Structure 1
Amino acid sequence: MVHWRAVKAVDAALRDVRESEFGDLFTVFAGDWQQILPVVRGGGRCHIVDACLKSSPLWQHVTCLTLRTNMRAQLQGDAEAEWLEERAILTVFNAGVKRINDHVIDRPPGPGHVYTSVDSTSDPDAVPLATEVLIGIELSGTPAHFIRLKAGAPVLLMRNLDAPSLIIGTLCVTVALSAAVLELKNITGPDRSHVIAAPRIPIESTPDSGLVFSFRRL
């Protein structure tokens, strides 16, 4: 959830262009007020509450609507794939990603498979680090050391495999799992419903990762 002053800035820009509140446009704010709060660096509880949209003068013009129907439970097969294609879940911290992933993986029936990465430093001059340190590294754009998957679970490609159909951000559904290869069905892009084999791909840290050494995860 963004700071209410950011919403106020959008309102001011639209007023300048269209000379009316929010440019007389239908505006939708989505979120859970009890779970997705604004991030105030170094702020306490009172600062976070003050940054919430509910504390804004604009709140008096907002009408609250509640979603009550679980649409995904009513969809199956290709319809479910289309439903997944149009949606995404965003979180602020990796810990939130893990909780959501665990919840999603628990839903499909059948046993799961746990994959563990092989971590190393690609800089030959770097000081050797313990395995416990390497597996605990979590970087943006890098998968976790432990990944649990099941057939039917949605996955997102993090590297280009075969442009333009299999690129970063392509959404797939897991069809089958083996030790080194995942069988995935593409549900987005020009090759929709095409089944592919995705091998393990090494991912290296970038210069802006914040690490003082080069990190490699396979």
Structure 2
Amino acid sequence: MTNKHAFEALDKTLRDILGCRNQPFGGKVIVFGGDFRQILPVVQHGTRQDVVNASISSSYLWPTIKVLRLTKNMRLTIGCDSSNIEQTRLFAKWLLDLGEGKVGGPNDGETEIEIPDDLLIKDSLDPLSDLIEFVYPDILSNYKNKEFFEQRAVLAPTNEVVEQINNRLLEMLPGSEYEYLSSDSVCLDESFGDSFDERLYAPDILNGLNISGLPKHKLVLKVGVPVMLLRNINQKDGLCNGTRLQITSLGERVTKAQIISGTNINDMVFILIIALTPTDKSIPFNFNEDNIRFLYVLQ
């Protein structure tokens, strides 16, 4: 995902420091990790050409890089039952072919892809409910069992779809809802001068902004629901971006949860009030440093 200019800057710096101007990175061996099947560098408001041009494959360094390819999908094969090995192998091959652009025939970056029948939920009157039932079968009988959620998740293409699935799951689970709201405020500085209009930056306006780096204004939880951390809080204790937890208790200013993934499974942790500021540089104002998005590291 890193822009090629970052690698080129490192290359020129090492050449100057080591005095080896004719060798890439000053003669040092640099190991890159990444996958072109995943997301490319993000260029705000950029065209397709801008995004491709920002990739390292468009850099003058690319001819000097040796590409090493993984040939075995370890994530799919670890813990796989022997009876499902062949089915898993075929699925892994289909994923690789999809990433390599071999599915759907020749294309210039856009093509129609036919999904295998065994991966589809067909003839559904309510696809969302059927998807939830497929991923979380008999959820009312199993939601208190943390192992039920360890290996189950729904991958969604957009945040809007994520919200739809979350709301539907929340409605299915028993218990009362607990609603957490953020507290947003603008940081006034001299750049505003006398032109500051409080009506333009009222709390309800700020709360309605969907900004990069900040989740939405309202978070609704229930005891027993699975959540995922969206921030690194304490890596030593296993509270990292992507860590999954299950809510065990909800309070006004603290939430208690049990870790169900990673290296600290079964540990009980407390999530406190967390101050977050947006990373989107296109916003014409700054948030206060004490801007609170309560518990919004959870999604």
Task: Settle same-fold status: TM greater than 0.5.
Answer: yes
**Could you tell me which amino acid in structure 1 is paired with residue 206 of structure 2?**
L
Contact 1:72 1:83 in 2 (8 A): no
**Alpha-carbon distance in structure 2 between the residues aligned to 1:150 and 1:107:** 11
Partner of 2:203: 131
Counterpart check, 1:79 vs 2:152: no
Q: 1:70 to 1:64 in 2, by over 3 A?
A: closer
Q: State the 1:83 CA deviation.
A: 2.2
- Aligned equivalent of 2:162, options 72, 77, 97: 97
For residues 188-214 of structure 1, the C-alpha deviation after alignment (integer angstroms, 9 at most, x for no partner) is 1111111111011011011x3531212
Larger Rg: 2
Helix, strand or coil at the partner of 1:98: helix
The separation in 2 between residues aligned to 1:101 and 1:63, in whole angstroms, is: 26
Q: Any idea what the Cα deviations from partners look like across 1:63-89, whole Å, max 9, x if unmatched?
A: 4324568352257314313223xx342
Question: Which structure: greater strand fraction?
Answer: 1
Deviation at 1:122, TM superposition (A): 3.1
Larger mean Cα displacement after TM superposition, 119-128 or 133-142 = 119-128
Partner residue, 1:178: 251
Identical counterparts, % of pairs = 23
Which stretches in structure 1 are left out of the alignment for 5+ residues? 3-16, 18-23, 30-50
- Picking from 215, 219, 237, the partner of 1:143 is 215
Alpha-carbon separation, structure 2, partners of 1:209 and 1:104: 34
Q: Count residues with an aligned counterpart.
A: 168
DSSP-derived class of the 2:185 partner? strand
TM-score (norm. length: structure 1): 0.65
Gaps of at least 5 residues in structure 2 are: 1-37, 39-67, 69-89, 97-109, 122-132, 294-299
Q: Is the 8 A contact 1:157 1:168 kept in 2?
A: yes
Could you list the per-position Cα deviations for residues 9-49 of structure 1 after superposition, in whole angstroms to 9, with x for gaps in the alignment?
Answer: xxxxxxxx9xxxxxx972149xxxxxxxxxxxxxxxxxxxx
Secondary structure of 1:203's aligned partner: coil
Q: RMSD across aligned C-alpha pairs, in angstroms? A: 3.0
**CA distance 1:74–1:132, change in 2 (3 Å):** closer
Work out the CA distance in 1 between the residues paired with 2:188 and 2:261: 37
Distance 1:102 1:209, change over 3 A: farther
Identify the structure with bigger relative contact order (alpha carbons < 8 Å, sequence gap 6+): 1
Which residue, 270, 277, 286 being the options, matches 1:214? 286
